[in-house]
Amino acid sequence: MREITSKDNSLIKYTARLQSSAKLRREDKRFVSEGLRVSLEALNGGVEVETLFVTDEALSKHGTELKPLIDASREVYRIPQKLMGCICDTKSPQGVVCVLKALDNNIDFGTINNKYILLESIQDPSNLGTILRTADALGVSGVIMTDDCCDIYSPKVCRGAMGALFRVPFIHIPDAPSFIEEFNKTGNSFAAVVRNASQLTDADFSGSCLIAVGNEGNGLKDTTVSACKYKVTIPMNGNAESLNAAIASGILMWEMMK
Amino acid sequence: MREITSKDNSLIKYTARLQSSAKLRREDKRFVSEGLRVSLEALNGGVEVETLFVTDEALSKHGTELKPLIDASREVYRIPQKLMGCICDTKSPQGVVCVLKALDNNIDFGTINNKYILLESIQDPSNLGTILRTADALGVSGVIMTDDCCDIYSPKVCRGAMGALFRVPFIHIPDAPSFIEEFNKTGNSFAAVVRNASQLTDADFSGSCLIAVGNEGNGLKDTTVSACKYKVTIPMNGNAESLNAAIASGILMWEMMK
C-alpha cells in the first residue's frame, strides 16, 4: 500500500476536481464515494473501484470491513487525515474515499409490467437523491432523467441517495417527448401536473407505465405533457401551492407501485 | 422610518442571536423570517410582527408589497445591505427581515374527523420543514411534535416549510405515550413502524386519527408504539433499509387524507 502525503499530489488534485466539477465527472466518466458504507454499497452494486484513499485511523478501526474494498481497488493509497479534507465534500470525512467508474446506463426495457419515473430538469441534488432512495425502497424499475437534470454523481446526490444510486437502474435521455412517444407503443405514460387532470386515485397503473415529473419551479414542459397519454394530479385539500418535488414523486411512485 | 447603520446596534445583535440560538428563540418566544414572501405569509397567517428590517433597494423595488408589513410592524428600520448579512441565515439575503412573535400552540382538538401527524424526536430541520409543507398541501388538521424535535422556528425549518408554518396548526407535547393514550379516547392512533405490522393499504383512517412517526435513525420509542391502537408499515418491494422520514410521512399523510 503506497502513501501520499502532499496535497499537491496529482491524484489528490484530480480527486478534488472530480468532487467539484460535474463537467470533469461527465468527461472522464468517474465519480467519488465518501465513507465506508457508501463505498461498500458501490462495490456491492458492481461499480468498478479505481482508487481507494484510506487513513491509518480507518484502517485500524475498520480493517475487516475494508478488506473487500482494498482487494477490489486497482490502486490503494494511505493518506493523512488532513488530505481527506481536500478530497471530501463533507465537513467530517470518515477516512475512506473511492474514485469510481460511472455506471453504464442500465435500464432493461425488455420486460413487461415495468414501472418507471421520468424526471425532467430536476435541479436540486437533495431532491434527486431522495427520489432515487424512494424509487429503490418502493421497487421502481428504473429512473429516467433528462440530460439537464442535476448531476447524479454529485457529492450531494450520492449522499442523499444512501446507496440507491448503485441499486436503482437509471438512464439519461436528451429529450423527454421523443422518449415518451416511443414508450407509448408498449406502455402508458402519465404526466404529473398540478391542475386540470384526473385525480391520482383514479389512475390505472397496471401494465408497463411511466410517470413524468417536472422541474421544481416550472413543472413539466408543455410538449412533455402533450406527449403523455394521461395527466394525473395529486389532489390537495390544503393551502400550499404545490408539494416539494421529492414528496410529490414519492406519493406518485407509491400509488404506481402499491 | 428610522435607520440603523452599525453592526454593533443592540437590535441587530439581538436578531443575529435569535437566528443562531434555539434557546433564545424558546425563552423569548421570538423568531425571524427572511425575505418578502415568507414575511408576508407570516403576516397573513396572523403572526405579530415586532420589527421589520428593510434595505433601500427592497423599499424601491417592493414598496407596494411591503406596505402591509410596514403598517403592521411595531418598529421599522432601514438598514444597509451589508447589515442584512449579519441577521440573515441565507447567503443572498433579499433585503427584508422580520422579528416575529412565536405562534401559540393552536390545534383545536374539539372537532370530529380530524387527522393529525405526531412527530417524535425528528432531528433534521429539512425533514421537519418538508413535513409541515406536505401537511399543509394535503390539508392535515395539525402537527403534534414532542419537545425534543428540532426547533420549528429555526431558519432552516422556516425556509423548508415555505410558509406552511403559518398555516398548519401545531403543538408541542412533552411526551408522546401519555398524549396518545388521551387521544385514544376519541380517535384511532397508528404507529408507523418498519416491520411486523399490517400494511398501510389495509388501514382504516376514517374518523379522527393520528399517525405517529419517529426519529430518523431509531424510529418510534417502544412505549410510543405500545400506546398506539394500531401499527402500520409502508410495504417496500425494494432494497432500501427505510424511506427518508419526510417521504415516509408524506406517503402516510397521503393515505390518511385521500
pLDDT tens series, chain B, 258 aa? 899 999 999 999 999 999 999 999 989 999 999 999 999 999 998 899 999 999 999 999 999 999 999 999 999 999 999 999 999 988 777 899 999 999 876 787 777 889 999 999 999 999 999 999 999 999 999 999 999 999 999 988 988 888 899 989 999 999 999 999 999 999 999 999 988 788 898 999 999 999 999 999 899 999 999 999 999 999 887 765 668 899 999 999 999 998
Give residue A20's pLDDT band: very low, low, confident or very high (50, 70, 90): very high
Residues 6+ apart with CB under 8 A from B51: B11, B15, B73, B74, B75, B76, B77, B98, B99
By Cβ distance, the residue of B167, B201, B238 closest to A136 is: B238
Contact between B134 and A247 using a beta-carbon 8 Å cutoff? yes
Give yes or no for a contact between B211 and B142, defined as CB atoms under 8 angstroms apart: no
Give yes or no for a contact between A170 and A145, defined as CB atoms under 8 angstroms apart: yes
By Cβ distance, the residue of A162, A238, A247 closest to B250 is: A247
Q: How many CB pairs under 8 A join A and B?
A: 99
The nearest alpha carbon in chain A to B237 belongs to A139
Contact between B130 and A244 using a beta-carbon 8 Å cutoff? yes
By Cβ distance, the residue of A130, A168, A239 closest to B244 is: A130
Contact between A247 and B140 using a beta-carbon 8 Å cutoff? no
Average pLDDT over residues A51-61: 96
CA gap B258, A201 in Å, rounded: 8
SS3 B171: strand
By Cβ distance, the residue of A130, A137, A162 closest to B238 is: A137
Residues of chain A above pLDDT 90, percent: 78
The nearest alpha carbon in chain A to B139 belongs to A238
By Cβ distance, the residue of A138, A237, A247 closest to B236 is: A138
Give yes or no for a contact between B43 and B101, defined as CB atoms under 8 angstroms apart: no
Contact between A247 and B244 using a beta-carbon 8 Å cutoff? no
CA gap A5, A83 in Å, rounded: 7
Chain B partners within 8 Å of A237 (Cβ): 138-139, 257
Chain B partners within 8 Å of A236 (Cβ): 137-139
Contact between A236 and B126 using a beta-carbon 8 Å cutoff? no
Name the helix (H) or strand (E) containing B250. Answer: helix B245-257
| Cell triple for B123 | 432531528
ipTM above 0.90, yes or no: no
User: Among B244, B249, B253, B255, which would you mutate to test the A interface (most chain A Cβ atoms within 10 Å of its Cβ)?
Assistant: B244
